[in-house]
Structures are given as C-alpha cells and as structure tokens.
Amino acid sequence: MHKIISFEQYKQVYKKSVEDPESFWSDIADGFQWQKKYDKVLEWNFRDPDVKWFINGKLNITENCLDRHLEKLGNKPAIIWEPNDPNEKNRTLTYKELLAEVNKCCNILKKYGVVKGDRICLYMPMIPELSIAVLACARIGAIHSVVFAGFSANSLVDRINDSACKMLITADGLFRGNKIVNLKEIADIALQQTKSIEKVIVYKRTGSEITMQDGRDVWWHDEMLRAEENFIAEIMDSEDPLFILYTSGSTGKPKGVVHSIAGYMVFCYYTFLNVFQYEENDIFWCTADIGWVTGHSYILYGPLLNGATTVMFEGIPTYPDAGRFWSVIDKLKVTKFYTAPTAIRSLMASGLDFVTPYKLNSLKVIGSVGEPINEEAWHWYDENIGKKKCPVVDTWWQTETGGIMISPIANVTPTKPTFATLPLPGVQPVLVDNEGKELTENNVEGLLCMKFPWPSIIRTTYGDHERCRLNYFATFPNLYFTGDGCRRDEDGYYRIIGRVDDVLNVSGHRLGTAEVENAIDEHPHIVESAVVGYPHEIKGQGIYAFVIIETQVDTSDEAYTEKLKKEISEVVSKIISPIAKPDKIQIVPGLPKTRSGKIMRRILRKIAEGEMSNLGDITTLLDPGVVEEIIKGARL
Ligand code: 7RM
C-alpha cells in the first residue's frame, strides 16, 4: 500500500510529502498497531531544537515488529543466523520463536529490576541473542545502548558511564574469522571503572575460561531456562527514547545519539519497504554489525517491522576466504543484499576467482552504505555481483537520521554510478554555501542540510542537549546540518562528496580526528599530535598521524622510532579500538599552526595526499619553516 512502484508515482508522492508532510506521514503511521492513537502528527522547531512526532501516541515498537505478524507469519523465519564458521549449523528463529525468546529475556530483565527508562548496555557478538536482547529492552521500555564488540574497554567505560547503564549484557567471547575475542575479559576491565552496572548477563558463545563475579554476573542460559514465555509489552509514549547509539563527532568524546520510538519506527518501516522494494519472499541480508546504526535499522527494526526474513551474519567477508559473502548468498538464496563500499573494494581486490564459483542468481537488489562509493567499485559491484540485473541502491544517511534519506528506490529511480540520486519522500535536502545561503540551482556544490524534520531525526545527544544544538542546528539557522559536502547535478541528482568537518570515515567507521589525537597523546613520549584522513584504496580513508615527541628522545634512532610507532598504535587500539589505528605515523618537529594556535589541517591533509606543490597560502602560519620539514619527512 505504501510501496512506490514507478518513477512517475515517486514524483507525485514526493510532491505530496513536501506539500503536506503531516498527512503524508500519518497515512503511513496509521498502518501500525497503536495502543492509543496520537493526537497530533508534528510539532517542531530547529532552534532549540525540539521535534516531536505522533504526539501522545501510545505503543510498543516490538508489538509492531513481532506480535502484529503472528497470525499470518508466525511460522515464517524472522532471523536466519549464519555463524562465523561455515561448518557450524545455522539457526533460524521464526516470528513466533523470536517473540517467545524476547519475552523470556524481558522476564529476566524484570527479575533484575529493570524498569521503563533504564539504560542497558549490550556488548555482544553478532548472534541471535543480541537481537533478542535489543528487542527485550524495547519491549520492557528500557533504552538500549549497543556498543560495537570491536571497541576497547576504555570505549565501553565511556559509553556505560555517559548514560549510567544499569545492566550489561555480554558474552564470554566472540568468533571473528580465525580469532577469538574474550569479550567478558574486556568487560571486566571496563566494569572496574563504572559504578552504575548492577547486573551482568553473560551469554556462553566461545566456552572460553572466564570469571563470574558472585552476586553480579549471571549466565544467560541459566536464566532463560527458568524464564516464562509470556510478557506484556510496556505501554510507551511515541517520544520516549528507544535507543542511544554513540557516534563520533568533530570534537571530544563520542556523543550518544538518541532516537525516539514512533518516528523511528515509521521511518525505518517505510524506507526499508521502498528502497529495497520489499517482497514477502525476500531473504534480506545487511552485512553491517548491529553495533552500528545500519544494523539497528536494516538488520533489525526495518525488516521486522515489515515482517521480512532478515539474515544476521557473525563472521567477516574474508573468512574462510574472500568468497564468503557470495557463498552465503547462494546458500541462503539471498534476494536483497546490503553492504559497505569498503567491503566491496576489498573483495574486488581479491579477484574474480572468489566470485565466479557462485551463481548469485537469487539476487534482485544490491545496496551500498557508509561512505562514498567510487566509480570502479560501483561498476564492479553492478557487473560481477548484480550481473547488471540488480539495481544498485547507494543509500546516504547517518546515525543521526535514523534511516535512509537520499537513495534510489530499487527499480523505480534511474540510477547513476556514485550518486545517491534523489531524496526519499518526506526528506527535504538543501545545499547551502559557507554563509548558509541556499543554492537553489542545479549543477552546484555545497553543504548538505535538511530544512524540514523527518520522523526519525535525532532528538538529542544523551545528557547534553546543548551539544546536539551546537553540532547540528547552530551552524545555519533553521537547518539541520549533516556535516557532508554534496553536489547536485544537472538532473537534480545528489552525489555525496564526504565530510567537511573533522570526522574521518575509515572503512565506513566514523572516527573523530580529535578522538584519535587524544588517544595518541596518552603515549608518555608524545607531546602533541594531529590526525588527518587521506585517500586509501580499500578503506576509503586512511589515518595519517603527525606526532611531536619529547625533545630528549633521539629521533635518528630508527629502531627506537619504529618501536615508538608500534606503541602509538597499541595505545590507540587500547583506548579506542583497533579500527582507529593510524595507517601512517610521521614524527615531526612541529605542527603548522596559525598565530592563534589552531592547527592548519588543510595543509597536513595536502601533505598526506602527496599534493606538496599545492599547499595554498601558508604565510599566516606562526612558523612557515615547519612545513618544509614536514614535507621532507612525509610518508607517502
Ligand atoms: C549509515 C551511516 C554517516 C556518514 C555520513 C557520510 C557517510 C554514509 C553514504 C555516505 C556517501 C553514502 N551512518 N555516508 N552513507 N557517504 N555515500 N551512501 O553510515 O553515522 O556511521 O556515518 O557516512 O559522510 O555523514 S554513520
């Protein structure tokens, strides 16, 4: 009913959605199960900011993900889980089974005192129990905060403390390729620096030797065995928070992006349905981790709200070899596949020998998300995976937007390589210049903003609303600022160029330059550092760190400096995550600074890109000589 099936229809629906957004979105919202219907569709201002959708509506999102489908789809697979090891049996949970597991989990949460509004941290492998735990939180009215299991103890501490989580759900360990990560060990280190966690529930996945703290830690399987299969979903308000998800910004520590229930639900449902042209028999596979927003919206909520079958994959693209994705597609008969450019580029580099053994003939739509997809990767994906028969949907969106904003609708919107193409209905992008003046023509390049709220817009940054205002709503009055640069071509098609702020995108992972610098500076011999991104063939962006070390250290001692660089990588790994390790480290005598002490990253970026001849004006620098020194030692 809400599915757009032709380009003509898209144009009409889009027009309506802009002329009368409230009636457009309430049409979609009315298809859901409400415990009490909302009184009003929307109230908003971007000044405070204060945005509310479906005001005074009462609902539980899990009734819309699960209970609602039982009558017709009770025995349909909701989740198909594919383990890391291809020889381990995969697991399927039908809608009925998933609901029973979620209810049991709710009863455990209840037993340990979890109530509406509590924050629960989930630090787990990509296993069905993570999905069960996420949904159980939503069902009991607790706010889930999933922390990607690749993050370090330090990162976990920051995230638990920032939102004072009461409970941690984790596992003994996880499998990733041929490695085991001892999650509980990391969690134990973290828990020494947190005060709010009262209970830890541990799922046994690897069977690794772990310690359980008496009175605090309990086993998932022990608890589930005794738990009841019935649980009445908590009645929630439309604007109650559904989850917190930490993401990196241009300054300081990651911020907790908060999404609220009803708007997120409506937007996830609608964008999944349309972008991927969902059909009842689809086997949908999004390869993201649930630790990222893509996993929240398009492994869990979007598919389940539509009654779809969603694949959850524990492993990595290159284990046991670079054909794993393609082998799983054939094995599970995946119809719609959604992955990241960094994965596409890395599999492209492994060669077609890993692709040709597979048929891939179940595929109908292939998607991309997380970073700009370059022309070569787009065509490789189109030709070798989609066999030129599957539309490539290049979907642009952010943690803060909750769901896909600018993207082709499969088989509806004519695609164009490297273009995210056109805004989805209800999405109103504008491009502005540096002064905030709207560029109304086509064939322009500017800063991407939104001039009207959509239902799953960020509501706040947890515990610090001012930070939310400053970050997204203060750069230009009355606009939501995305942080991305963007071109609009002669056809009105959007092409995302990349971040214009100090946010890096390494293999689709968002990292702040400041975050990485702060970690590097923790090394006892580092005085100061500056981090920039540079083009990297596989990762999209690589991390280039310029570091100043203490004067008493002998920089001509190569063995020593190599050791130092290794240590720097270890420090970053420990403080943030291995994904944040610098690709290149250069020891420099100084950094290019303005007279007011600001690091001129523009110059460092040029050097990291190898564009030494084109540094622009450096006369305003405090010490222009330092630039020459840096160029001499550049690591290209
Ligand atoms: C979903 C997600 C958001 C940032 C965003 C962009 C970049 C995401 C695309 C893209 C070009 C795309 N959330 N980005 N998708 N750039 N084309 N299709 O990735 O919060 O982790 O990152 O990612 O810079 O601002 S995120």
DSSP, res 505: E
> How far from chain centre, in Å, is Cα 345?
19
Residue 42's beta-bridge partner residues? 53
Is the separation of the CB atoms in 246 and 267 below 8 Å?
Answer: no
Backbone angles phi, psi at 196, to 5 degrees: -85, -20
Q: Which three-class secondary structure state does DSSP give residue 479? A: coil
Closest by CA position to 461, among listed 405, 399, 515, 506: 399
Backbone angles phi, psi at 108, to 5 degrees: -70, -45
Q: What's the rounded Cα separation, in Å, for the pair 122 and 273?
A: 27
Say if residue 553's pLDDT is above 80: no
When pLDDT is averaged across residues 281-297 and rounded to a whole number, the result is 98
Write the single-letter amino acid at 142.
A
Is the separation of the CB atoms in 342 and 539 below 8 Å?
Answer: yes
| Sheet hosting strand 429-432, strand order edge to edge | 429-432, 444-450, 480-488, 494-499
Write the single-letter amino acid at 393.
V
Confirm or reject: Cβ of 428 under 6 Å from ligand 1: no
Q: What's the rounded Cα separation, in Å, for the pair 114 and 167?
A: 8
Integer angstrom CA distances of residue 514 from 62, 64, 153, 501, 543: 38, 40, 19, 11, 12
When pLDDT is averaged across residues 489-518 and rounded to a whole number, the result is 94
When pLDDT is averaged across residues 610-634 and rounded to a whole number, the result is 86
CA-closest residue to ligand 1 atom 1: 398
| Cβ count near 594 (within 10 Å) | 11
Q: What's the rounded Cα separation, in Å, for the pair 77 and 95?
A: 6
Q: What's the rounded Cα separation, in Å, for the pair 49 and 500?
A: 22
443: left (phi over 0), alpha (psi -120 to 50) or beta: left
Say if residue 256's pLDDT is above 80: yes
Q: Which three-class secondary structure state does DSSP give residue 52? A: strand
Q: What is the pLDDT of residues 388-397, one digit of tens each?
A: 999 999 999 9
**H-type alpha helices, 172-275:** 183-191, 220-226, 261-275
Q: 507-635: what CATH class? A: alpha beta
Q: What's the rounded Cα separation, in Å, for the pair 423 and 450?
A: 10
pLDDT mean across residues, the chain: 96
Say if residue 203's pLDDT is above 80: yes
Q: What is the pLDDT of residues 456-487, one digit of tens each?
A: 999 999 999 999 999 999 999 999 999 999 99
Q: What's the rounded Cα separation, in Å, for the pair 331 and 358?
A: 10
- State residue 121's pLDDT score: 98
When pLDDT is averaged across residues 612-616 and rounded to a whole number, the result is 83
> How far from chain centre, in Å, is Cα 635?
31
Confirm or reject: Cβ of 484 under 6 Å from ligand 1: yes
Write the single-letter amino acid at 330.
D
pTM: 0.94
Is the separation of the CB atoms in 103 and 230 below 8 Å?
Answer: yes
Say if residue 554's pLDDT is above 80: no
Write the single-letter amino acid at 140.
I
Write the single-letter amino acid at 232.
I
Question: How far is the centre of ligand 1, averaged over its atoms, from the C-alpha of 153 (Å)?
Answer: 26
Q: What is the pLDDT of residues 523-551, one digit of tens each?
A: 999 989 999 999 999 999 999 999 999 88
Residue 593's pLDDT band, with cuts at 50, 70 and 90, is: confident
Q: Which three-class secondary structure state does DSSP give residue 376? A: helix
Helices 21-29 and 261-275 meet at what angle, rounded to 10?
A: 90
Say if residue 595's pLDDT is above 80: no
Element (H, E) at 15: helix 7-19
Write the single-letter amino acid at 168.
L
CATH 3.30.300.30 domain range(s) in the chain: 507-635
> How far from chain centre, in Å, is Cα 315?
17
Confirm or reject: Cβ of 367 under 6 Å from ligand 1: no
When pLDDT is averaged across residues 430-448 and rounded to a whole number, the result is 97
Residue 250's pLDDT band, with cuts at 50, 70 and 90, is: confident
For the chain, give the number of residues. Answer: 636
- State residue 607's pLDDT score: 94
Q: What's the rounded Cα separation, in Å, for the pair 8 and 330?
A: 34
Element (H, E) at 10: helix 7-19
User: Residue 464: exposed, middle, or buried by beta-carbon count in 10 A (0-12, 13-18, 19+)?
Assistant: middle
483 CA closest ligand 1 atom index? 25
CATH 3.40.50.12780 domain range(s) in the chain: 7-316+395-486
Q: What is the pLDDT of residues 334-378, one digit of tens each?
A: 999 999 999 999 999 999 999 999 999 999 999 999 999 999 999
510 CA closest ligand 1 atom index? 21
Question: How far is the centre of ligand 1, averaged over its atoms, from the C-alpha of 594 (Å)?
Answer: 31
Q: Which of 268, 289, 397 to mutate to test the pocket of ligand 1 (most atoms within 8 A of CB)?
A: 397
Q: What is the full DSSP assignment across 520-563?
A: HTTSTTEEEEEEEEEEETTTEEEEEEEEEE-TTS-TT-HHHHHH
| Cβ count near 131 (within 10 Å) | 26
- Minimum mean pLDDT among 1-15, 243-257, 489-503: which range? 243-257
Confirm or reject: Cβ of 370 under 6 Å from ligand 1: yes
Question: How far is the centre of ligand 1, averaged over its atoms, from the C-alpha of 396 (Å)?
Answer: 6
E strands within 28-153? 40-45, 50-55, 58-59, 77-82, 91-94, 119-123, 143-146
- State residue 14's pLDDT score: 98
Residue 27's pLDDT band, with cuts at 50, 70 and 90, is: very high
Confirm or reject: Cβ of 512 under 6 Å from ligand 1: no
- State residue 551's pLDDT score: 80
Is the separation of the CB atoms in 306 and 284 below 8 Å?
Answer: no
CA-closest residue to ligand 1 atom 4: 398
Contacts of residue 112, Cβ cutoff 8 Å, sequence gap at least 6: 167, 198, 199
Q: What's the rounded Cα separation, in Å, for the pair 52 and 45?
A: 9
Confirm or reject: Cβ of 399 under 6 Å from ligand 1: yes
Q: Which of 286, 484, 504, 539 to mutate to test the pocket of ligand 1 (most atoms within 8 A of CB)?
A: 484
503 CA closest ligand 1 atom index? 24
Interior/surface letters 468-480, b for 16+ CB within 10 angstroms, e for the rest: bbebbbebbeebb
Contacts of residue 303, Cβ cutoff 8 Å, sequence gap at least 6: 272, 278, 284, 309, 310
Write the single-letter amino acid at 614.
N
Residue 286's beta-bridge partner residues? 338
Q: How many CA atoms lie within 13 A of 272 on its CB side?
A: 31
- State residue 616's pLDDT score: 80
When pLDDT is averaged across residues 382-391 and rounded to a whole number, the result is 98
Say if residue 492's pLDDT is above 80: yes
Question: How far is the centre of ligand 1, averaged over its atoms, from the C-alpha of 424 (Å)?
Answer: 16
Confirm or reject: Cβ of 486 under 6 Å from ligand 1: no
Question: How far is the centre of ligand 1, averaged over its atoms, from the C-alpha of 369 (Å)?
Answer: 7
- State residue 600's pLDDT score: 85
Strands 283-286 and 584-587: unpaired
Q: What's the rounded Cα separation, in Å, for the pair 81 and 118?
A: 29
Confirm or reject: Cβ of 475 under 6 Å from ligand 1: no
Is the domain 7-316+395-486 a CATH 1.10.3720.10 member?
no
DSSP, res 128: H
E strands within 379-475? 392-395, 429-432, 444-450, 460-461
When pLDDT is averaged across residues 257-266 and rounded to a whole number, the result is 98
Q: What is the pLDDT of residues 59-75, one digit of tens each?
A: 999 999 999 999 999 99
Say if residue 453's pLDDT is above 90: yes
